[in-house]
């Protein structure tokens, strides 16, 4: 349930999937700082334990973690069951994602299939479950971290772009289906965010911090937005991207 705390509407209990680093970890920390109890999910147990310990030192008992590989459908279902056995959930943030290694130059089928499972299949398993539960309740918040990479087919990483295009359309469809039930569904399309995913690589336009990305994402979810670019000016780049001729994309390695 959203409740008021220091003038902010705050969720009681939220699940963040893909929370051991980057955007998901920053969302988990900020939600906890605002008064939400968070359950953080990912594979790297040491990283999760560190983040949870840090949160709980500041706000006792406000964070816990469960390990889960989102490519494993049964593990996702069991983890969701465990979370619900301990209480209701008001918001689910799906932040897990990978860029398939070797996809920029070659055609690494194994890595591509793993990326489809992590970026899309896992998302559908977690968010279908959340959608069903929130629709029944007539309230709830679903947030999915997609990408500007899904706006257009491009040479590097065809499968990463394809998973993000599919994820964006899935989230848009969920929004249309659930809006009248009072459920918020937010699709987030980041440009560049300085996380382990891009490492120290120099990027242009410049990357924003994961803390800033998390701040905007949480604020937009609270404001019941349907789709946002992070930072917002990526919306303009996306318009240029979508309208540029295919001949340009055949020549440029972007």
Ligand X SMILES: NC(=O)c1ccc[n+]([C@@H]2O[C@H](COP(=O)([O-])OP(=O)(O)OC[C@H]3O[C@@H](n4cnc5c(N)ncnc54)[C@H](OP(=O)(O)O)[C@@H]3O)[C@@H](O)[C@H]2O)c1
CA distances from 181 to 175, 178, 185 (A): 10, 5, 11
Residues with Cβ < 8 Å from 13, sequence gap 6 or more?
A: 36, 37, 38, 39, 87, 88, 89, 90, 91
The one among 30, 147, 161, 168 contacting ligand X by CB under 6 A: 147
Which of 195, 168, 184 lies closest to 14, judged by CA? Answer: 184
162 near ligand X (CB under 6 A): no
Catalytic-role residue among 65, 160, 170, 229:
160
161 near ligand X (CB under 6 A): no
**CB neighbours of residue 6 within 10 Å:** 7
Q: What is 10-24 written as a DSSP string? A: EESEEEEES-SSHHH
The one among 196, 206, 224, 236 contacting ligand X by CB under 6 A: 196
H helices then E strands: how many in the chain?
9, 11
The one among 43, 129, 215, 226 contacting ligand X by CB under 6 A: 43
Contact letters (x/-) for ligand X, 78-117, by CB under 6 A? -----------------xxxx-------------------
CA 37/CA 86 separation, integer angstroms:
12
231 near ligand X (CB under 6 A): no
Contact letters (x/-) for ligand X, 110-139, by CB under 6 A? --------x---------------------
Choice between 131 and 145, CB closer to ligand X:
145
Pairing of strands 193-194, 183-190: unpaired
Q: How far is the CB of 173 from ligand X (least distance, A)?
A: 18
Give me 197's structure tokens.
């995913």
The one among 30, 37, 141, 195 contacting ligand X by CB under 6 A: 195
CA 4/CA 221 separation, integer angstroms:
15
Choice between 170 and 192, CB closer to ligand X:
192
Query: Which part of the chain contacts ligand X (CB under 6 A), choosing from 37-45, 53-61, 85-93, 169-177?
Result: 37-45
Determine the size of the site formed for ligand X (CB under 6 A). Answer: 28
CA 91/CA 141 separation, integer angstroms:
4
Q: Is 160 a catalytic residue?
A: yes
The one among 65, 93, 134, 192 contacting ligand X by CB under 6 A: 192
Name the residues annotated as catalytic. 160
Q: Which residues bind ligand X (CB under 6 A)?
A: 18-24, 42-44, 47, 69-71, 95-98, 118, 145, 147, 190, 192-193, 195-198
């Amino acid at each position: 349930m959203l409740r008021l705390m220091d003038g902010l509407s705050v969720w009681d209990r939220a699940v963040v999937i893909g929370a051991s680093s980057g955007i998901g970890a920053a969302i988990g920390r900020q939600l906890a700082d605002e008064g939400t109890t968070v359950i953080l999910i990912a594979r790297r147990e040491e990283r999760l334990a560190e983040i949870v310990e840090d949160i709980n030192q500041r706000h006792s008992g406000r964070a816990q973690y469960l390990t889960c590989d989102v490519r494993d459908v049964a593990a996702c279902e069991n983890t969701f069951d465990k979370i619900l056995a301990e209480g209701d959930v008001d918001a689910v943030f799906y932040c897990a994602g990978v860029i398939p290694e070797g996809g920029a130059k070659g055609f690494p089928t194994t890595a591509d299939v793993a990326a489809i499972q992590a970026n899309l299949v896992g998302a559908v398993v977690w968010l279908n479950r959340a959608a069903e539960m929130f629709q029944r309740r007539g309230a709830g918040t679903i947030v999915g971290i997609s990408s500007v990479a899904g706006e257009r087919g491009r040479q590097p990483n065809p499968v990463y772009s394809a998973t993000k295009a599919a994820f964006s359309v899935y989230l848009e469809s969920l929004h249309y289906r659930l809006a009248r039930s009072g459920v918020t569904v937010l699709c987030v399309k980041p440009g560049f965010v300085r996380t382990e995913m891009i490492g120290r690589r120099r990027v242009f336009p410049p990357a924003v911090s994961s803390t800033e990305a998390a701040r905007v994402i949480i604020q937009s979810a609270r404001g019941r937005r349907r789709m946002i670019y992070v930072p917002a000016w990526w919306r303009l780049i996306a318009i240029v991207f979508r309208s540029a001729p295919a001949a340009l994309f055949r020549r440029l390695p972007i």
